[in-house]
């Protein structure tokens, strides 16, 4: 979710967060259900972005990108974990997150996009994070669900996790 400040001269605004916990995309700070003040946002700052717990997204470096063909297939996986209280106890915590991503080798090819919509070209992600006082173990499962002729190479070069107010 993005929450840009749209009034000239303003540096803060109220944002309503729905039924889940939300993570500040840049810091991992947790926002809870209800209204929260987002403040000290300057014109040159990035737009305030928030990731809902239990979801994940793929991001790409867009430096020097002039068209989608310049992007390639290298991504950073950004994960906002949800605590699974039923699988956690006093010695360990279990967090989960899921998401999907459409992957094509050429997003400017209308025929491929139409075929992707008609037949599917999705990668499905499931992540589980198990933590103890001294360890963190991350499991990532990726499945492709779609037309085999549309499969595009997907490279994840880094993973950012958010849980318990941390961005690691």
For the CA atoms of the chain, what is the radius of gyration?
Answer: 18
Question: Using one digit for the tens of pLDDT, what is the confidence trace for 26-47?
Answer: 999 999 999 999 988 877 788 9
pLDDT at 106: 67
Residue 102 has pLDDT above 70, yes or no: yes
pLDDT of residue 67: 79
Does residue 50 register a pLDDT over 70?
A: yes
Note whether 1 and 52 are within 8 A (CB). yes
For the whole model, what pTM was predicted? 0.85
Return the pLDDT at 163. 94
CA distance 166 to 45: 21
What is residue 33's predicted lDDT score, i.e. its pLDDT?
A: 94
Stretch 49-59: mean pLDDT: 94
- Report the CATH architecture of 1-52: Sandwich (2.60)
Which residue has 């779609």 as its token pair? 146
What pLDDT score was predicted for residue 148? 78
- Residue 59, Cβ neighbours under 10 Å: how many? 12
Whether 69 shows a pLDDT value over 80: the answer reads: no
Residues 6+ apart with CB under 8 A from 62: 71
Domain ranges of the chain: 1-52, 53-167
pLDDT of residue 89: 95
């Amino acid at each position: 979710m993005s929450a840009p400040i749209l009034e000239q001269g303003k540096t803060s605004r109220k944002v309503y967060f729905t039924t889940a916990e939300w993570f500040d995309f840049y810091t991992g700070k947790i926002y809870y259900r209800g209204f929260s003040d987002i403040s000290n946002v300057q014109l040159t700052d990035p737009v305030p972005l928030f990731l809902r717990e239990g979801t994940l997204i793929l991001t790409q470096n867009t430096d020097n990108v002039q068209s989608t063909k310049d992007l390639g297939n290298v991504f950073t996986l950004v994960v906002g974990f949800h605590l699974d209280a039923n699988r956690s106890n006093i010695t360990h915590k279990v967090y989960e997150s899921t998401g999907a991503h459409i992957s094509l080798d050429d997003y400017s090819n209308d025929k491929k996009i139409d075929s992707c919509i008609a037949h599917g070209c999705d990668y499905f992600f499931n992540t589980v994070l198990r933590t103890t006082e001294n360890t963190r173990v991350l499991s990532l499962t990726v499945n492709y669900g779609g037309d085999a002729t549309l499969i595009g190479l997907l490279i994840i070069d880094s993973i950012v996790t958010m849980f318990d107010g941390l961005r690691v």
